[in-house]
Amino acid sequence: MRIAFRQAASTFTKAAQALLALTIITGCSTTNVPPAFAESNKYAAIVVDANTGKTLFSANADASRYPASLTKMMTLYMLFEAMHTGRVNKNTQIPVSAYAASRPPTKLGLKAGQTVRAEDAILGLITRSANDAATAVGEYLGGSEARFAQMMTVKARRLGMKNTVFRNADGLPNRAQHSTARDMAILGIALREHFPREFAYFSTRSFVYKGRTIRGHNRLLGRIEGVDGIKTGYTRDSGYNLVSSVKVDGRKVVAVVMGGKTGAARDAHMASLIAKHLPRASRGSGNGALIAARDMAPAPITPVDLPDADNAPVPIARADIEGGFGQGDSDEVEMALAAPAPRPAAAVAAASIVPTPKAAVPEEVDPVTTASAKSNSGWAIQIGSLPTSDQAQAMLAKAATQAGSTLGAVTARTETFHKNSTVFYRARFVGFETKTAAWNACAVLKKKNFGCYAIAQ
């Protein structure tokens, strides 16, 4: 499957920005919060009208929280984006490293050296919250888990998630990994708006993998009218988290509850928020196009040889049960990681990380939209002008693969121009902080037989 990206508008017009600003109202209501939640230092919640971006309810929505397996929403976003650029399709075989196979439950039970089909990985992440599949996806798309986490964080900034930092692909405990209810709502809206076809995966309640029926953790599916996803999450430090997408009679909301003491309490609170605030949501498209606007071109996806992690430490489970519910959504099990220890892959991962260019992480992005600010500063490189968007995207994907970590965290982008009434598509990488960085990238690409020149933006 290969779907060409539409070229995103280079910037919002002043009129559109003004209109969007009028629709964004950040509420601070704490009514209808059960006492057990109100007294918790883990609790946060928000309900956002996905048609307009209006906040219908919020409580601690900008407070820093641990996302747990909600992290996998971004892992899936990156995978869906790779599918749209043609780098991956649903039948792509994703290799499983020893480190990925060693991740603690919940998991699919992947073995080191085998592969997992991309669609099975997607369904495993959504239903079972499979940590082994999530890590395999991250290593495949980023070359290492550390580099993929950097790519996830850059993408988060471009979506408007100003208070999120990712450190892994699966959401297992990491003190430096944090987010907010508002940022998770932004990500939920982005998944719905940017990948409407793939979003249908989130309504999957079970699937069969190697003869086993894998059942999902999202208990609101099929119980609450209009709920069509998205994701559950749990660790001891985060509490029980849930992002829900609801669509009824043209009304669309994305709601987030974080920090529940039990899965049942979290689900009940989510159900009450949906019942109260969905009727207040707007009907029709509203300003959805503005809310979902983004830089359509993905961050470079640079598969490299996976590091040897045969001796990777395995996190220690305080409790375990057959079937492996640990970090997904089970009331009976808690996971605790052992003290951090260096992995054999650490040197490889560190060598692959390039500091994020300032121009690639816009600081002023509206917090309740999924808009991506286009940088008007820094440097870009151009590697070709092609007659179709498909050809330009293919050239960018090939260049990203061959250039490896040289490109760092820049963004692949196509831009149109007209010559003699004919439309052409420029293939560019944007977001280099300095001229030297752009020139160095061009030097590498020229050795790979790509034409290349640097452009000041």
Q: How far is 134 from 125, CA to CA, in rounded Å? A: 6
**Residues 150, 156, 162, 166, CA torsion sign:** negative
Annotated catalytic residue within 72, 107, 162, 374: 72
Tell me, yes or no, if 129 is annotated catalytic: yes
Per DSSP, 293 falls in state: -
Q: How far is 47 from 86, CA to CA, in rounded Å? A: 34
**Has 231 been labeled as part of a binding site?**
yes
**Which residue bears the tokens 């490299």?**
304
Q: How far is 255 from 277, CA to CA, in rounded Å? A: 10
Tell me, yes or no, if 40 is annotated catalytic: no
Tokens matching residue 242: 């849930």
Q: How far is 173 from 162, CA to CA, in rounded Å? A: 21
Q: How far is 255 from 233, CA to CA, in rounded Å? A: 14
Q: Exposed/middle/buried for 177, CB within 10 Å: 0-12, 13-18, 19+? A: buried
Annotated catalytic residue within 58, 69, 97, 330: 69
Exposure string (b/e) for 258-283, b if CB count within 10 Å is 16 or more? bbbeebebbbebbbebbeebbeebbe
Q: At CB < 8 A and 24+ separation, what contacts does 384-387 make? A: 384/426, 384/427, 384/450, 384/451, 385/417, 385/424, 385/425, 385/426, 385/427, 386/424, 386/425, 386/427, 387/422, 387/423, 387/424, 387/425
- Per residue, the 3-state secondary structure of 399-420, as one string, reads HHHHHHHHHCCCEEEEEEEEEC
Q: How far is 46 from 64, CA to CA, in rounded Å? A: 13
Q: What is the largest CA-CA distance in the chain?
A: 69
Tell me, yes or no, if 447 is annotated catalytic: no
Q: Find out whether 90 and 73 touch, Cβ atoms under 8 Å.
A: no
Question: What element of type H or E holds 422?
Answer: strand 422-432
Q: How far is 50 from 202, CA to CA, in rounded Å? A: 17
Number of helical H runs and strand E runs in the chain: 14, 13
Q: Find out whether 414 and 427 touch, Cβ atoms under 8 Å.
A: yes
Residues designated catalytic: 69, 72, 129
Binding residues: 231
Binding residues for substrate: 231
